[in-house]
Structure 1
Amino acid sequence: MDDSQKTKDALLEELQDLRKALRQNSADLEQFTYVASHDLRAPLRGISNLSQWLEEDLGPQLSQGSRRQMELLRGRVQRMEGMLDGLLDYSRAGRVHHKPEPVPVDRLIHETLERLAPGPSARLEVGPGMPVLVTERPALQQVFQHLLSNALKHAGREDVRIRVEVEATPAFHHFSVADDGQGISSRYHEKIWSPFQTLVSRDKVEGAGMGLCVIKKLVESRGGRTWVESAEGAGATFHFTWPGSEERLT
């Protein structure tokens, strides 16, 4: 064996070791996130319960201002629990896979919106050609749930209009979820996909800032990609590509 072949073999072995270490580090990080998000729930519940008991014990001795502070404290606990839920969703997104099954996407979208209980003036339009995909139903539903929820929360008004469309490509289906809400400035188009990122104060719009991060991991772990088209004041269209063979109905 010549020196060049030995060098190639050594580099290949080193690359394999690095890949193995990277996979292990990723698994360790996901496990840490999963355990930490579980273990933090107990003290949070304790804080919430203690504030409730204090309020009940002190009764009329507690001023209106102090009662308001107790409510704010419990609100912050709920926000932290929401962030932990987001971390759990994120840790599961890349490692938990489900058995593919036929999924009528049109029905899935409508069922997902119903669970979110939008106001009576909100409108959903589903474009033609929605397929019946043989795919992971829980993961695809989670993607649509986050996107529809974001459209409702950030619209800035009750009569938001949401339109979902699809375009079939050779390897993927390209879905888009558009709304006529407040829109997103181009300087935030990359930032919004990072963990715990919100463009509006959480005191105005409650949220953990994990939804789009979870979507990105769900989609990319299945070979797809995500992006957004938007301008401030002109609504937003979120795009993602999703694998899955289309079931032909006879």
Structure 2
Amino acid sequence: MDDSQKTKDELLAEVQGLRRALRQNSADLEQFTYVASHDLRAPLRGIANLSQWLEEDLGPRLSEGSRRQLELLRGRVQRMEAMLDGLLDYSRADRARHKSEPVPVDRLIHETLERLSPGPPARLEVGPGMPVLVTERAALQQVFQHLLSNALKHAGREDVRIRVEVEPTAGFHHFRVADDGPGIAPRFHEKIWNPFQTLVSRDKVEGAGMGLCVVKKLVEGRGGRVWVESAEGAGATFHFTWPGSEERIS
């Protein structure tokens, strides 16, 4: 075996070692996130319960201002729990893989919106040509759930209109989720994909700020792309490409 072949073998062994280390680090991070999330929930629930007991024990002696402060405290606890849930979703996004199955995307989108239970004024339009994709149902549903939830949450009104469209591209399907909400200024188009990012105060729009970074990780972890087109006051269109062969219905 010559020196060049030894070098190739050594490089291959090094690459394989790095891959094993990366997988182990990823597994360790997921385990740490799970344990930290689990261990933090107990004291958070204790804080919420204690505030509720104080409110009940003090009863009429509690001023309206103090009552509002206790309600605010419980709201902060709920926010922290939502952030922990978001961290868990994020840590699992590129690791949890499911068997591919035929997924009627039109039905998946409607089922996802029903789970979000928006008010009757909200409207969803699904464009023609939605495929039956052979893909990971849970992952694709999670992407749509975050994008639809994001549109509903940030609309600022109940009669938001959301339209989902698709077009096939080479090896992928290009989906667009558009809304007629307040839009996003171009200077924030990159920032919104980072963890814990919100463009408005959480006192106005409650959220953990993890949804879009989970979407990005899910999509890119499967070889796709995700981006946004928007301007302030002109709604937003979220684009993503998703792999999966299309099942032909005879």
Q: C-alpha deviations, 1:149-171, integer Å up to 9, x for none? A: 11111112222111100011231
**How much does 1:2 deviate?**
4.5
The residue aligned with 1:30 is 30
**How much does 1:14 deviate?**
3.0
**How much does 1:219 deviate?**
1.2
Q: C-alpha deviations, 1:161-210, integer Å up to 9, x for none? A: 11100011231111110011111111111111111111111000000000
- 1:126-137 paired onto structure 2 within 5 Å: 126-137=126-137
- 1:24-63 paired onto structure 2 within 5 Å: 24-63=24-63
**How much does 1:142 deviate?**
1.0
Q: Distance in 1 between matches of 2:198 and 2:136?
A: 28
The residue aligned with 1:119 is 119
Whichever residue aligns with residue 82 of structure 2, its letter is G
**How much does 1:59 deviate?**
1.4
Q: Distance in 2 between matches of 1:129 and 1:159?
A: 25
State, as a whole percentage, how many aligned pairs show the same letter: 88
Which shifted more, 190-199 or 116-125? 116-125
Which shifted more, 134-143 or 13-22? 13-22
After superposition, the Cα gap between the structure-2 partners of 1:218 and 1:65, relative to the gap in structure 1 and judged at 3 Å, is same
**How much does 1:7 deviate?**
4.0
Q: C-alpha deviations, 1:29-87, integer Å up to 9, x for none? A: 12111221122111111110011011111112211111111000000000001111111
**How much does 1:6 deviate?**
3.9
Question: Secondary structure in 2 aligned to 1:181?
Answer: coil
Matched pairs, number: 250
Q: Distance in 2 between matches of 1:2 and 1:145?
A: 56
Question: Secondary structure in 1 aligned to 2:28?
Answer: helix
Taking only aligned residues, the RMSD between alpha carbons, in angstroms, comes to 1.5
The residue aligned with 1:178 is 178
The residue aligned with 1:64 is 64
The residue aligned with 2:214 is 214
Question: Secondary structure in 1 aligned to 2:209?
Answer: coil
Whichever residue aligns with residue 198 of structure 2, its letter is T
Which shifted more, 46-55 or 93-102? 93-102
The residue aligned with 2:161 is 161
**How much does 1:248 deviate?**
0.9
Q: C-alpha deviations, 1:105-147, integer Å up to 9, x for none? A: 1111111112212222211111100011121111111111110
**How much does 1:234 deviate?**
1.2
Question: Secondary structure in 2 aligned to 1:40?
Answer: helix
The residue aligned with 2:106 is 106
**How much does 1:5 deviate?**
4.3
Q: Distance in 2 between matches of 1:74 and 1:31?
A: 28
The residue aligned with 2:19 is 19
Structure 2-normalised TM-score? 0.95
Whichever residue aligns with residue 94 of structure 2, its letter is G
Whichever residue aligns with residue 211 of structure 2, its letter is G
Q: Distance in 2 between matches of 1:37 and 1:246?
A: 38
The residue aligned with 1:74 is 74
Q: C-alpha deviations, 1:15-39, integer Å up to 9, x for none? A: 3323322222122112111221122
Q: Distance in 2 between matches of 1:229 and 1:74?
A: 36
Question: Secondary structure in 2 aligned to 1:94?
Answer: coil
Say whether residues 1:147 and 2:147 are aligned partners.
yes
Q: Distance in 1 between matches of 2:109 and 2:3?
A: 60
Whichever residue aligns with residue 126 of structure 1, its letter is V
Q: Distance in 2 between matches of 1:6 and 1:249?
A: 52
**How much does 1:4 deviate?**
4.4
Structure 1 stretches lacking a partner, 5+ long? none
The residue aligned with 1:85 is 85
Q: Distance in 2 between matches of 1:112 and 1:6?
A: 54
The residue aligned with 1:246 is 246
Structure 2 stretches lacking a partner, 5+ long? none
